[in-house]
Amino acid sequence: MQNPLPAELRKETKNYSVAMVAACPFPANHGSAASVREMSDTLSQMGHAVHIVTYQTGQKDIVVRYAKVHRTGPFRPETNAKVGPSPEKFLEDLGLLRLLCRVIQRERIDIIHAHNYEGALIGVMAKWITGRPLLYNAVNLMSDELAGYRFIRPAWLARAIARGLDWLVPIFPDHITAVSPELKQWLVEHGTPERKVDMVPAGIVPEMFDNADPEKIRRCHRINGRAIVMYTGVLNAFQRIDYLLRGFAVVSKQQPDALLVMVSPLISESHQREHKKLADRLGISDAIMWIAPHSLEDLPSYLALASVTVISRPECPGHPVKLLNYMLAGKPIVCFEGAAKGLRHLHDAFIVPNHDCEALGKGIITLLKDRELAANLGANARMTVLANFDWRRICRRIEHIYDRLLGNPESGDIQSEHHAFARLRP
């Protein structure tokens, strides 16, 4: 459970009734669903009445502690939610819109806070129906991801639709928060007024990693004495797992005892089968352990076992939640420039040029061999995430955006918060 808010992060403010639109299985231990849950619980602790409006499905072993959850139907536990669009979601989204409008009226909602593209589109329609202001939390670009889901074929059509969504969705919200400076810059350069966009990153719950037990994982998977290179996250094409495998092939030539541990919250047989074929061609299959699914409770223990953590996605306009987890765990990170949000090379991460798989592998080798450098990068990464990405501080920023949208004056000290977030640059 999160600790109460520190005194310096409290402020006198009007409390609001907020409808969080989560057009995804909820709760879940990956991506936006995790951020929505942590943001909602923190805002609830700050005194706001937060109502999460979401689908029937979600993981039953994850607790929403403070916010109230409204579902389109009876809760249906799901341990292996599908990431990305699907035919079933279109009907569920219609139900989500109807539910959102009912919640807005019944709970006297002050503001709609929508996440991701589906949530934003549903939020726009609810805004038109109910007249409530809409805050859209932008975490990605469809042009970066939609084709990778392989839901729409051919790929050129998926890319065309994605570009259309990237242009259309930002037009209608009253305000937008973008989770990275790059995403904010993209929105502004493509026509969104700068005054309409704030950069507000995803966050962490500092206490989440306090009780990690790596030995439990070591015993369970019989991992003894090997250097562990770890990736945690989904295996979809846009994550560029192929780059990670090619980079690890470089590692294996110099560090044959190194083990690549792929820890995913979801089972994805088609993606895993494809990645295993590439691993076979690269001759590294015997040095890889595939683990899926894992529970949210076990994630800190998995990461505590890692010698080096990796992100192999180069184009990443959003903010990878896995990056925040790596930082909170105090682990040395190797990543491409495009994923290095708020990090500096050789200060709190080892950053390599985008798309350079050999450089990715050499970065991993450097940190496996230079344990002092690895320890320093990990310690600095943890200090960075605790200083800049605590949900309690981030939600204070969100609270002030609510104030502005609802016509309530901000307190003077918010200017220091504006400047602190503006300094977050890769």
CATH superfamily for domain 7-203+390-422? Glycogen Phosphorylase B; (3.40.50.2000)
Of the candidates 42, 18, 1, 188, the one whose C-alpha atom is nearest the C-alpha of residue 115 is 18
DSSP 264-304: -SS--HHHHHHHHHHHHHHT-GGGEEEE----TTTHHHHHH
For CATH 3.40.50.2000, the residue range(s) in the chain are 7-203+390-422, 207-387
Give the pLDDT of the chain (426 residues) as one tens digit per residue.
445 555 544 555 689 999 999 998 999 887 789 999 999 999 999 999 999 999 999 988 899 999 999 999 999 998 766 666 666 677 888 999 999 999 999 999 999 999 988 999 999 999 999 999 999 999 988 776 555 556 666 776 777 877 888 899 999 999 999 999 999 999 999 999 999 999 999 999 999 888 899 999 989 898 888 999 999 998 988 899 999 999 999 999 999 999 999 999 888 888 899 999 999 999 999 999 999 988 888 999 999 999 999 999 998 888 888 999 999 999 999 999 999 988 999 999 999 999 999 999 999 999 999 999 999 999 999 999 999 999 999 999 999 999 999 998 765 444 445 444 554 544
CB distance 98 to 105 below 8 Å: no
CATH superfamily for domain 207-387? Glycogen Phosphorylase B; (3.40.50.2000)
Cβ atoms within 10 Å, residue 151: 14
**Which residues 6+ apart lie within 8 Å of 24 measured at CB?**
32, 33, 54, 55, 81, 116, 118, 119
Rounded Cα distance between 132 and 120, Å, is: 13
pTM beyond 0.75: the answer is: yes
Q: Please give the C-alpha separations between residue 309 and each of 245, 295, 326, 368, in angstroms, as whole numbers.
A: 13, 19, 7, 11
> How would you class 8 by CB atoms within 10 Å of its CB: exposed for 0-12, middle for 13-18, buried for 19 or more?
exposed
pLDDT at 148: 59
Cβ atoms within 10 Å, residue 217: 22
**Which residues 6+ apart lie within 8 Å of 391 measured at CB?**
2, 38, 39, 42, 203, 204, 205
pLDDT at 13: 60
pLDDT at 149: 58
